[in-house]
Structure 1
């Protein structure tokens, strides 16, 4: 049994897969198994996995007969894992040098149920935007989420979380179907963990692909985000009433982010999405209320509470116009306007 099972779901990533696998296997860390799940990928990924498995005994490959999606592939890898801890690493991302040793040391120091690492978004132009776990605020060596609710404000992805496998077994927690599956995995995990620890280190490189990401895909499937957040509140139940307000605030923030993004909710369904948000707000709002964020964000929360869709859209249009005017005012003299400067 290894200390760490790294689960890598694989689908149509032949251009990125070797770099991902090398970043895990090339760190000189042997107390691990790498469980690669070929989700019926129809490119050259299967051959790459076969080559790595033939050369490295730490690699095991599972092959799914039909494509089942990211969450199901992760669940298959989890079921096959034997390590004390599990880390889900997406096959177009990578781990930074020295990360596995740093993670192992931190786990040995803390005996944590959940370790949350720092990560960075890496953009196609090479820009790196780091996300530090220290942004959650001062923390003891290990803690429960209720002690450090600021942890909720970090991006709720699964890939920067190393979790005790037995905790997942005891909770019966797995990835749910649908888009935004990380929400209904990461939030319950943080709520349930008795011993959380942080590794304030840029450990995970989160590739921001120019195409192919659901965050840049206009689709009705963005409505699935409500199912994920509703599951979070069913899981929360009476477990930790003191967490209801900060979890609710984070949920509304995220749902507004989805609605406000120009390349997600189809324009013709924005009113319907807003109505679902209003219904969610009324169903899950803590009886004692919750702290509203400052500025425009707080105004948006109030507009949701009052079911004021037209005012919400007017605020959004006004802010977009303001941004465009600032861009034009600061454009160098003689510069030609860009297509992106056109006001819709």
Structure 2
């Protein structure tokens, strides 16, 4: 009979026939089958030694040849499955393990016994662990919520994300569609953190991360921290005192899905108590810069450097204006007039003057002379735009970078 030898280089060699000293064995004889099992087990052992010594690819070549040339053998199939797993070829490893289970079932049937499931071993468990991890991290995108002194309203914001997620699942026909929520507490002195924890415990079906800053750094820095912890290709931002309407995630995500040439998409805004009175020019300016009506590809967010967090932008500076101008300087975007977010302007806070400006009829930027802090912010914006010019023409895997700052928006 011919015997199998695996050389040091991983080559399968058939040894020459030798003259038997006893009566020849024929295929199907019990003695032949025992001998074949011994020889293949020895071969599998030698190949497993190669694996231990780091010869993954050599052993893989030899095993693949043996599996193709010989009748199915559980030890060889399982060893090849192990190699394919180490090489990152998980689908092949799964298929080989399925063949092992099939052989076990056939052997049991041949003996007239009930099939016994193959017990889970290390390889099966490793494959299952990777599949679970892929499921946990395979999300549409992440919603980042900066939070400071918002114990009374952040529950409403989180509830709005929950409704938007449920709408997305229904519209997409995908009950398993996942989104990640990342709340960044900006050193709140109130019970903001406790409220978020309680909400998360009441909604275990959502993936939620809670980051806590040791000192107050402003909304821009908090958004950047949340984006750094994000999962999935898309990013949404939501201020804790505002909320999403139920179609927001669906409208924006499907727009990016349908237009690979754009880097971001914006929607219309419902301006809570002043929606009927806000002037068209202020509505247009707000919808072009507000972070919460925006969905952006995470790679685009990273390329422009995220939100500015220098002192002139904190606590209520134009970090959203800087971010929007940087984004629009490099990428085409899309805009729909459909309102999908609600923007709250509360009485008795820093937005009182902004509310008055929105209703005044004056275009944004006109009125009182700019203060030094605003001039400093404008200089920092121009510095960033100048630095981003070096990105034009670069090779990368995201949406096309615009050739100049002319900007491009498509209507949805």
Q: In 2, are the aligned partners of 1:89 and 1:159 still within 8 Å (CA)?
A: yes
Match of 1:114 among 259, 264, 282: 264
Q: Work out whether 1:91 is the aligned partner of 2:251.
A: no
- Aligned runs of 1:235-246 on 2, under 5 Å? 235-237=384-386, 239=389, 243=405
Secondary structure in 2 matching 1:175:
coil
Secondary structure in 2 matching 1:24:
helix
Aligned CA distance change for structure 1 residues 230 and 91 (closer, same or farther; 3 Å): same
- Return the offset for 1:157: 2.1
Secondary structure in 2 matching 1:26:
helix
Match of 1:37 among 175, 178, 184: 184
CA offset digits 1:62-97 (Å, max 9, x no partner): 111222221221111111112211111100000112
**2: distance between equivalents of 1:131 and 1:108?**
32
**1: distance between equivalents of 2:343 and 2:195?**
21
Q: Work out whether 1:203 is the aligned partner of 2:340.
A: yes
**1: distance between equivalents of 2:147 and 2:342?**
17
- Return the offset for 1:224: 2.3
Q: Which runs of 5+ in 1 are unaligned?
A: 137-151, 247-344
- Return the offset for 1:214: 5.1
Secondary structure in 2 matching 1:106:
helix
TM-score (ref. length: structure 2): 0.49
Larger Rg: 2
Match of 2:319 among 181, 190, 194: 181
Aligned CA distance change for structure 1 residues 68 and 127 (closer, same or farther; 3 Å): same
- Return the offset for 1:33: 0.6
**1: distance between equivalents of 2:216 and 2:190?**
13
**2: distance between equivalents of 1:35 and 1:90?**
12
- Who is 2:150 aligned against? 13
- Return the offset for 1:225: 2.2
Secondary structure in 1 matching 2:291:
coil
- Return the offset for 1:164: 0.7
Q: In 1, are the aligned partners of 2:307 and 2:319 still within 8 Å (CA)?
A: no
- Aligned runs of 1:1-344 on 2, under 5 Å? 1-27=138-164, 28=166, 29=168, 30-54=177-201, 55-56=203-204, 57-111=206-260, 112-123=262-273, 128=276, 154-177=287-310, 178=313, 179-193=317-331, 195-213=332-350, 216=353, 223-237=372-386, 239=389, 243=405
Q: In 2, are the aligned partners of 1:120 and 1:128 still within 8 Å (CA)?
A: no
**2: distance between equivalents of 1:48 and 1:207?**
20
Q: Which has the higher contact order (CA 8 A, sep 6+)?
A: 1
**1: distance between equivalents of 2:159 and 2:218?**
24
Q: In 2, are the aligned partners of 1:96 and 1:205 still within 8 Å (CA)?
A: yes
- Who is 2:360 aligned against? none
- Return the offset for 1:101: 1.6
Q: In 2, are the aligned partners of 1:93 and 1:205 still within 8 Å (CA)?
A: yes
Secondary structure in 2 matching 1:37:
strand
Q: In 2, are the aligned partners of 1:119 and 1:132 still within 8 Å (CA)?
A: no
Q: Which moved more, 1:92-101 or 1:25-34?
A: 25-34
Aligned CA distance change for structure 1 residues 12 and 196 (closer, same or farther; 3 Å): same
**RMSD value over aligned CA atoms?**
3.1
TM superposition outliers: structure 1 runs of 4+ over 4 Å: 126-133, 152-155, 238-244
- Return the offset for 1:154: 4.8
Secondary structure in 1 matching 2:335:
strand
- Return the offset for 1:115: 0.6
Aligned CA distance change for structure 1 residues 176 and 115 (closer, same or farther; 3 Å): same
How many pairs were matched up? 224
TM-score (ref. length: structure 1): 0.58
Q: In 1, are the aligned partners of 2:330 and 2:405 still within 8 Å (CA)?
A: no
Q: In 1, are the aligned partners of 2:146 and 2:238 still within 8 Å (CA)?
A: yes
**2: distance between equivalents of 1:92 and 1:67?**
17
**2: distance between equivalents of 1:153 and 1:93?**
14
